[in-house]
Structures are given as C-alpha cells and as structure tokens.
Amino acid sequence: MRDPSTNPDRTTEPYRGRWLILVVMLVAEIMDLLDASIVNVAGPDLEESLGAGSVGLQWVIGGYALTLGAGLVLGGRLGDRHGRRRMFLFGLTAFTASSLLCALAPDIGSLIVFRLVQGAAGAMLLPQGLGLLRENFSGPELTKVFAVFGPVLGLGGIIGPVLGGFLIEGDFLGLGWRSVFLVNLPIGVAALIVAAKCVPKKAGDRTVSVDTAGAALVAASCALVVLPLNQGQEDGWPLWTWLCMAASAIGFAVFALQQRRTAAAGRAPLVTSGLLRKPAFTVGLGGIALFFAGLVGTQLVLTLYLQMGRHFTAGDAGLGNLPLALGTAIGGAVSGAVLADRIGRKVLQIGPLVQLAGAALLWVELDGLAPRSFSIWDIAPGTALSGVGAGMVIAALFGFVLAAVDDDEIGSASGVLSAVQSLGGSLGVAVFGSVFFARAKTGDFAGGFQHALVVQACLLAAFLAVTFLLPEQGRPESEQQGLAADAPSDMSQSSV
C-alpha cells in the first residue's frame, strides 16, 4: 500500500486504501444512526437508575439531534478550512470519548450534557464523509459507493432500537442502559485506528472563512425553540416559554438577514445566499422539518407506549418497532425503484395519505384493545401501513427539494437539508413527548398515543400542502450525491 500521507492522484492510479475509507465512513454514519435511536428503549431504565423524568428523557433523546443539526453546516465548513481528514479524526475521537462519558454519567443532568456534546461531535464528524469519498473515488466507482449507502444506513436505522433493547435486557456485566453507549467504544477506536492509517492527508483551504456569528445565531435559535417545548408541559407553559419561541423565530429571521449581508460583504456565509431566495427550497425546508418531526416523534411515542403502557421489556419494545421499520423499507423500495420516476411529485402526496390511513387504522386499533391482553400484532397493521407511507416520502423527498437548487449550490443545500432533518427530529421528540406524557401521567397511555397521532395527522396535512409548491420532478440521485459536473468544494457539507 502506498504511503497514505500523500494525496492520491486519481487520474493515474486509484488509491489502494480507498475501500477501507468507505468502510470507515459507513461505520461513522451507522454510529450516528444507532445513537439517534438506540436510546429510545432506555426510558424505564434511565428512570429507575438516574431518576429521569419525562423532561429528562426528552432531552437525552432530542438533545443529541439538536446539537447535531445545529452544527452540521458549520462542521462542513470547518472541514473545508482545516482539512476533512483532520476534522474527521477529531470528530470521531470526540464522538467516541463523549460516548464513554455518557456511559459513566452519574446523574441525568450529566447525561444530558454529554449527549449534547456527543451531538456536537457528530456534527464535526459526519459532514466530512462525502468529501473524503469524492476525493478518493471517481466515475462509476463513486456511483457504486453511493449505491451501498442506502441499504446499509437503512439497516442501521432499523437495528438501533432492536440492538438497544437487546443490550439493556441482556444487562451484560450489570451495565444496563450504559451498554448502549459503551458499544461505541470498540467500534469507534477500531474506526479511528483504520482512519488514521488509510485516509490520505490533504491540506484544507485556509482562505475559506468560517461564519462563527451565523453558527452562533443558528445554535441559539434552535435552543430557544427546543427548550420551551421540552420544559413547557412540565412547567405549565409559563410566559417565558412563549417568549423563547418568539425569540427563536426572530433569531432565524436575523440569521437569514445576516447571511445575505455576509455574502454582500464578500465573505463566505454558512448557507449560500441564493438558496434563501428560492421559494421552493425554503418551503421545502419547512416540509422536511414537518415530516421528520412527525416521523421521529411517532417512533418515540410507539416505544414509550409499549414499555410504559404495555410493560414490554426493552428487548420486546425494540422488536415492536420492526413492523414500522419493515413498512418503511418496503415503502422506500417501491418509491425509489418505481414511483418517483413515473409519477413525479405525486409520490410525495401519496406517501402522507398512506401515513394518514395508517394513523387512522392505528387509532382504531388502540381504541379497541382489551385492557390486559395485548401483543404487538394488535397494532402491527397500522404501524406497518404508516411505515410504508413514510418510506415512500423518505426515498424521494430530498430529490424534489434539491430540484429547486442550482448545480453549484447542491453542497450547501444538502448540508442545510440534513441539518433541518435533525432539528425536525429534535422538535418532534419535544412536542410528541410532551403530548404523550400529558396523558400518561394520568395512566391513559393509549390516550396519549392517540393524541400524538392527532398531532402527526396535523403535521402530515401541513406537509401535504407544502408538496404542491415543490418542483414537479426530483433531481436524479446521482446529482444529489455530487456527481454532476463541476461539483463545488463545499459538497462536504452534505450528509449522505
């Protein structure tokens, strides 16, 4: 193997270690997916071990997505400036170390802080993957590389709750919930060793400026909306919660204005200024936030209902997510392979209608359940149908939003979309958690689930309205992944 410290020249001979780079990138992405969902089944154990209440649990789950989403675009820009290899190794080290800190947390407050740090580390780690792959693969090989990502990452999303349930229920070495974080240590250390040896060194571009003011505005605005949504239900929605949410809206408006002024002054903004002037793109951002808030929130409530309302073990609750996950996989396969190319934007309208049908069926199933006799099969049809609709949307959504974007803006746009996806998930945890626990405190767990389904229906209706403002046809997947000619250097901001 040639010396990895030199940058490979792809025009003469492909770098021999490039397939190890692909493996390391996949491992990093899977670690993120696992940590986003693996904690969902740990609620009762966190309550017993650390005294975590409903608010604490929402912060443990949603706090990770909050800092991840708030930092993704910044992480991509730091990779451009300081070098993607350096930022990848730094992010992977920080992610692994913060996983250890989460496992050692002595109380719920410490665990929340460490989860926030873990999300920030993920924001430094994940945006580097696409840029590193583009530097070491080209042509048909790069197309094959991206073809691998979909199935592998889809599997990662499915096995998160199942693996979490297995680790917690197994209670290996008496570690309980702590094992869901400790599992990252051997994986992270092995990936770090391989990455340090196989990822070639390439200097960053020191002329790239980092918009720290914009990054601070985004982080503050995100925190100002998630904080009151998490705490509001517990505190009775006092005045400060509404003031925070109003301040968040103002903060995002100021961010948009600041980005335009930064670009006008000849400096590099976090978000390409032209994107904010494209109505279809900005509307699409809202659609992504609505959709993923409903999807992630409903997944959380399903797990909480199974564990708290039906006394499922962590392992059984993880397996209880399989009908939803399998339905999502089926919907994604049908949408990606058949529908999106043939019927265009209509796939984004059929998907939420199928989800609404699934939510309605699930409502009926919950309403007719016997008080004691229950199995996952009682609600499997509704959850599976909801999953099919969700999969149809997930497989096509980014392509239709990116169709409104010029070729030289794809990198920045992809990074923004990934960030909004994470933030939408964090908002979903806060909103749906509050709705569910408001009823669960009275012992009405089925009612809490049904109220959450009503919220999901409202979000899906709003998303359905948004789809009519998106382009008729989506951008081809190859172009989404940066295969178009003259792809920009900040393509590293997109999250695969």
Whole-number Cα distances in Å, 168 to 112, 180, 181: 19, 7, 11
CA atoms of 217 and 393, how far apart (whole Å): 30
Compute CA 234 distance to the chain's CA centroid, rounded to the nearest angstrom.
26
Per-residue burial over 332-354, b = 16 or more CB atoms within 10 Å of its CB, e = otherwise: bbbbbeebbeeebbebbbbbbeb
Q: What is the pLDDT of residue 270?
A: 85
Q: What is the pLDDT of residue 350?
A: 94
CA atoms of 290 and 284, how far apart (whole Å): 10
Sign of the CA dihedral running 149, 154, 157, 162: negative
CA atoms of 440 and 443, how far apart (whole Å): 5
Tokens of 35: 């940590």
The answer to whether the predicted template modeling score (pTM) of the entire model surpasses 0.85 is: no
Within 13 Å and on the Cβ side, how many CA atoms surround 210? 19
Token pair 């509704």 in the structure block, residue: 382
Whole-number Cα distances in Å, 285 to 275, 404, 494: 11, 12, 14
17 φ, ψ to 5°? Answer: -85, 15
Sign of the CA dihedral running 212, 215, 220, 221: positive
- List per-block mean pLDDT (blocks of 10 residues) for the chain, which spans 496 residues: 44 67 86 83 86 87 91 87 90 95 94 95 87 76 71 69 86 89 92 89 80 90 90 85 95 91 84 82 92 92 91 88 87 75 86 95 83 81 93 86 80 83 91 92 91 96 93 68 38 33
